[in-house]
Amino acid sequence: MLDWKDGQPFSSRFGDVYFSSGSGLEETHHVFLQGNALSSRFAALPTGDGFCIGETGFGTGLNFLCAWRLFEQNAPPAATLDFFSTERFPIDDDELSAALALWPQLAVQAGALLACWKRRVPGWNRWHFAGGRIRLTLALEDVAQALPQLPAGGVDAWFLDGFSPAKNPEMWSDEVLSAIARASHAGTTLATYTSAGWVRRGLQQAGFAVERVPGFGRKREMVRGRLESAGAQATNGRVPSSAIVIGGGLAGCAAAHALAQRGIKVTLLEAAPQLAAAASGNPRGILHARFGAGMNALHRFVLAAYGHALALLDEMLPVDGVNRAECGLLQLAATDAEAKRIAKLSAQEWPPHLLQAVDAEQAIHLAGLPMAHGGLWFPAGGWVVPPEVCARLAAHPDITVRLDSEVTALEAVAGGWRASGAGFAVEAGKVVVCCAHQAKRLAPFAAWPLQPVRGQISVLPATPQSARLKAVLCAEGYCAPAVADRHVAGATSSFDDAATDIRATDHADNLAKIAAHMPALHQTLGDVEPSDGRAAVRCSVPGATPLVGEVAPGLYCSLAHGTRGLLTAGIAAEVVAAQMCGKLPPLPQDMLDALAPSSRPGLRG
Ligand code: SAM
Evaluate the CA torsion angle 199, 202, 208, 211 in order and state its sign: positive
Return the HEC string of 128-197: EEHHHCEEEEEEECCHHHHHHHCCCCCEEEEEECCCCCCCCHHHHCHHHHHHHHHCEEEEEEEEECCCCH
Task: Tell me phi and psi for residue 164, to 5 degrees.
Answer: -70, 145
Helix (H) or strand (E) holding 457, with range, is: strand 451-461
Give the lowest-confidence range in 120-134, 196-210, 224-238, 553-567: 224-238
200-230 pLDDT, tens digit per residue, is: 999 999 999 999 999 988 788 999 999 987 5
Tell me if 493 CB under 6 Å of ligand 1. no
Question: Rounded to the nearest whole angstrom, what is the distance from the C-alpha of residue 176 to the centroid of ligand 1?
Answer: 13
Q: Which of 585, 573, 48 is nearest to 258 (CA)?
A: 573
Measured CA to CA, the distance from residue 118 to residue 268 in angstroms comes to 32
Q: 87 in ligand 1 pocket by Cβ < 6 Å? A: yes
Ligand 1: nearest atom to the Cα of 162: 10
Give, for ligand 1, the residue of 12, 13, 25, 56 to mutate: max count of ligand atoms closer than 8 Å to Cβ: 56
Asked whether the beta carbons of 435 and 452 are under 8 A apart, the reply is no
User: 40 φ, ψ to 5°?
Assistant: -75, -35
Separation between Cα atoms, residue 450 and residue 545, nearest integer Å? 12
Return the ligand 1 atom nearest residue 171 CA. Answer: 23
Residue type, 584: L
Q: What is the pTM of this model?
A: 0.96
pLDDT in tens, 300-343: 999 999 999 999 999 999 999 999 999 999 999 999 999 999 99
Residue 229 backbone class (left: φ over 0; alpha: ψ -120 to 50; beta: rest): alpha
How many Å apart are CA 84 and CA 126, to the nearest integer? 9
CB 284 within 8 A of CB 534: no
Question: Given pLDDT bands bounded at 50, 70 and 90, which one contains residue 117?
Answer: very high
Indicate which residue's Cα is closest to atom 17 of ligand 1.
Answer: 57
Nearest to 191 by CA among 161, 153, 164: 161
Residue among 86, 140, 171 to mutate when testing ligand 1 (max atoms within 8 A of CB): 171
- For ligand 1, pick from 103, 163, 177 the residue to mutate: most ligand atoms within 8 Å of CB: 163
CB count in 10 Å sphere of residue 309: 26
Element (H, E) at 375: strand 375-378
Q: Report whether residue 99 contacts ligand 1, using a CB cutoff of 6 Å.
A: no
pLDDT score recorded for residue 234: 64
Atom of ligand 1 nearest to the CA of 159: 1
Residue 85 CA to ligand 1 center (angstroms) comes to 9
Q: Cα(267)–Cα(256) distance, rounded to whole angstroms?
A: 8
The answer, yes or no, to whether any atom of ligand 1 lies below 6 A from the CB of 143, is: yes
pLDDT of residue 605: 45
pLDDT in tens, 489-541: 999 999 999 999 999 999 999 999 999 999 999 999 998 889 899 999 999 99
18 Cβ inside 6 Å of ligand 1: yes
* pLDDT (mean) for 149-160: 97
Ligand 1, atom nearest to 89 Cα: 16
CA of 59 to the centre of ligand 1 (A): 5
End-to-end CA gap in the chain: 48
Quote the percentage of the chain above a pLDDT of 70. Answer: 98
pLDDT in tens, 241-271: 999 999 999 999 999 999 999 999 999 999 9
Give residue 506 CA to ligand 1 midpoint distance, Å. 52
Taking phi first (over 0 means left), then psi (-120 to 50 degrees means alpha), and beta for anything else, what does residue 549 get? left
Closest CA to 489 of 279, 281, 286, 250: 286
What does the pLDDT average to over 23-43?
95
Q: Are strands 478-479 and 472-474 parallel, antiparallel or unpaired?
A: antiparallel
Q: Is the CB of 176 under 6 A from ligand 1?
A: no
Residue from 123, 42, 80 nearest 583 by CA: 80
Ligand 1 neighbour 171 (Cβ under 6 A)? yes
457-462 mean pLDDT: 96
Query: Does the beta carbon of 62 sit less than 6 angstroms from any atom of ligand 1?
Result: yes
CA–centroid distance, residue 576 to ligand 1 (Å): 30
Measured CA angle at 155 (ends 149, 159), to 5 deg:
100
For residue 533, the CA-to-ligand 1 centroid distance in Å is 51
Residue 327 CB neighbour total at 10 angstroms: 21
Select from 296, 324, 301, 273 the least CA-distant residue to 570. Answer: 301
Q: Ligand 1 in contact with 175 (CB < 6 A)?
A: no
CB of residue 546 inside a 6 A radius of ligand 1: no
| Closest residue CA from atom 12 of ligand 1 | 57
In order of their start, the domains of the chain are: 3-227 (3.40.50.150), 237-320+380-443+546-605 (3.50.50.60), 329-379+451-540 (3.30.9.10)
Write down the pLDDT at residue 235: 60
Q: Which ligand 1 atom is nearest residue 65's CA?
A: 4
Sheet holding 16-17, edge to edge: 3-5, 8-11, 16-17
Rounded to the nearest angstrom, the distance between the alpha carbon of 280 and the centre of ligand 1 is: 40
Q: Count the neighbouring beta carbons within 10 Å of the beta carbon of residue 77.
A: 8
Contact 254, 570 (CB under 8 A): yes
Neighbours of 322 (CB within 10 A): 12
- Comparing 47 with 439, which gets the higher pLDDT? 439
Contacts with 484 (C-beta within 8 Å, 6 or more apart), sequence order: none
Which of 3, 33, 58 maximizes ligand 1 atoms within 8 Å of its Cβ, making it the mutation to test the pocket? Answer: 58
**3 CA to centre of ligand 1 in angstroms:** 14
Q: Which atom of ligand 1 is nearest to the CA of 17?
A: 9
The helix/strand/coil state of 103 is coil
Alpha carbon of 92 to ligand 1 centroid (Å): 14
Task: Output the pLDDT for position 368.
Answer: 97
- The total number of residues shown for the chain amounts to 605
Q: Quick count: other Cβ atoms within 10 Å of Cβ 595?
A: 24
Pocket flag, ligand 1, residue 89 (CB < 6 Å): yes
Whether 59 is in the pocket of ligand 1, judged by its Cβ within 6 Å, is: yes
Given this model, what pLDDT does residue 2 score? 86
In 3-state terms the chain splits into helix, strand, coil percentages (rounded to 5) of 35, 25, 40
What's the rounded Cα separation, in Å, for the pair 167 and 282?
54
DSSP letter for each residue of 268-298: EE-SSSSSS-SGGG-S-EEE-----TT--HH
Q: What is the pLDDT of residue 600?
A: 83
Nearest CA to ligand 1 atom 16: 89
Cβ atoms of 472 and 289 within 8 Å: the answer is: no
Please work out whether the CB of residue 90 comes within 6 Å of at least one atom of ligand 1: no
Arithmetic mean of pLDDT, 184-196: 95
- 508 three-state secondary structure: helix
122 contact partners, CB below 8 Å, separation of at least 6: 140, 141, 303, 350, 351, 354
CB proximity list for 336: less than 8 A, separation 6 or greater: none
- Mean pLDDT of all residues belonging to the chain: 94
Burial 2-25 (b: 16+ CB within 10 A, else e): beeeeebbbbeebeebbbbbeebb
Question: Picking from 2-6, 90-94, 353-357, 398-402, which range would have the lowest pLDDT averaged per residue?
Answer: 2-6
49-64 pLDDT, tens per residue? 899 999 999 999 999 9
